[in-house]
Amino acid sequence: MSSTAIAIGAQSRARRPNHQTGGALRNPQATHVGWAPAADLGLAEWSAVGRRLGDVARCSQWWVGDWINYGNARFGERYSRASRLTGYDIQSLMNMVYVASRFEISRRRETLSWSHHAALAALDPDSQAYWLSRAAAEKLSVADLRAELRGERHALKSASARGEPAIHDVSSEALVCPHCGGSVPLSH
CA–CA separation, 180 and 57 (whole Å): 48
Secondary structure element (H or E) that encloses residue 30, with its range: strand 29-30
Q: What are phi and psi of 6, to 5 degrees?
A: -115, 125
pLDDT of the chain, 188 residues: tens digit per residue: 344 445 555 444 433 444 444 333 456 688 888 988 888 888 999 899 888 888 888 899 999 999 999 999 999 878 999 999 999 999 999 999 999 999 999 999 999 999 999 999 999 999 999 999 999 999 999 999 999 999 988 888 877 777 766 555 444 455 555 555 555 555 54
CA–CA separation, 82 and 117 (whole Å): 22
Cβ neighbors of 28 (< 8 A, separation 6 or more) are: 7, 8, 9, 10, 35, 36, 37, 38, 41, 49
Beta-strand pair 183-185/35-36:
unpaired
Q: What are phi and psi of 184, to 5 degrees?
A: -125, 120
Q: Which residue in 25, 31, 42 sits closest to 8, CA to CA?
A: 31
pLDDT digits (tens, 9 = 90+) for 70-83: 999 999 878 999 99
Give ∠ CA 42-48-53 in degrees, rounded to 5.
125
121 in Cβ contact with 98 (< 8 Å): yes
